Homo-oligomer: A and B are copies of this chain.
Amino acid sequence: MLDDRKLAILRAIITEYVSMREPVGSKTLVERYKLNVSPATVRNDMAVLEEEGYITQPHTSAGRIPTDKGYRLFVDRLGAIKPLSAVERRAIETFMAGALDVDDIIKRTVRLLAQITRQVAIVQYPVIATTKVRGVEVISLNPERALVILIDSSGHVEQRPVDVSGISESDIADMRGRLSAALIGLDPVKAMESLSIFLESLPPETRILGTVVVSALLEMLNLDPSTRIVVGGVQNLTRFSDQFETTVKPVLEALEEQVVLLRLLGEASTAGNVTVRIGQENSYEPLRSTSLVASTYGSDTDSLANLGVVGPTRMDYPATMATVRAVARYVGRFLSEG
């Protein structure tokens, strides 16, 4: 189906488009890449690539740009992760050297990632001791007031009062059941993720109660350090001022949604390896025009938390993946040692 030349052409299109930011035509390709065929041949191949959905034309008489599917093929088969240069490795080391506590390490990691990749960096706090949700209770104190209680596997109990005026006892009991089903046995991060879709699963008539209970629970879960997220490099978004509506705006909005970020990072990370989510592959709608490059990090034995960068789908995947992997490994080692 796709012979070597077609793959080479796809690779060339992506390389060219990523660096030039403009649709690329057949003539440009034969000029700059050693394809050893004529533009006409390239055109024929491009027609096939387009048919298969790897590239597309913004309009009839423009060059081609890669589709999400094209980038995906590129990342999976064409773009070998470049090892970092010695200079970059040294940069990482000097940047992290002298970090004091976990807070400081995380702060530096975010800055480092943002700086090297020149994109938006997201780092989750490392999970120290993994607790799980052991119980969730909603107990009415009187017709107006109830207590939401959260118990974790270490026996720690948190509680929050909520307003339940006008809500029946049976609705409260029902909520208790649903919450238990949704949360028990999950660690704080997973519990948060679960809550983020919990509201949608409720029948409309219990939405009001649901909202206040969920926000109380989020507050309590948020006390666990592993649910914290640090974001940096937002100013790098300024490089995409042209695509403000499609890229910058939704990203800015997403970046303040801790829960969303946690879920994204969680979904995108598979232990030990760098994972890439390209455009449409992202489950979170507003980020459908961006890509996420993520990885887990932590000591070899009990790894753990996630980190990554968010950028335009048109990004230099090999370089970004290399950086994310290197930083993740370095921080992992750093945390295990210090």
Point out residues on A near B: beta carbons under 8 Å: 98, 100, 160-161, 219, 223, 232-235, 237-238, 241, 244-245, 248-249, 252-253, 255-256
Partner of A235, one of B232, B238, B253: B253
Q: Which residues of B contact A100 (CB under 8 A)?
A: 223
20 pairs, A vs B, C-beta closer than 8 Å? A98-B160, A98-B161, A100-B223, A232-B256, A233-B256, A234-B234, A234-B252, A234-B256, A235-B249, A235-B252, A235-B253, A235-B256, A237-B252, A238-B244, A238-B248, A238-B249, A238-B253, A241-B244, A241-B245, A241-B249
Give the number of times this chain occurs in the complex, counting copies: 2
A46 to chain B: closest CB distance in Å? 34
Instruction: Other than A234-B234, A234-B256, A241-B244, give 5 A-B pairs with Cβ distance below 8 A.
Output: A98-B161, A232-B256, A235-B249, A235-B256, A241-B248
What are the 7 tightest A-B residue pairs by CB atom distance, in nearest-first order? A238-B249, A235-B253, A235-B252, A241-B244, A235-B256, A234-B252, A238-B252
Bound: A122/B237 CA distance, A = 20
Pair A235/B255 contact, Cβ less than 8 Å: yes
In the complex formed, the residue of B with least CB distance to A254 is B235
Partner of A219, one of B98, B245, B249, B255: B98
In the complex formed, the residue of B with least CB distance to A219 is B98
Q: Which residues of B contact A253 (CB under 8 A)?
A: 235, 238
Bound: A255/B235 CA distance, A = 8
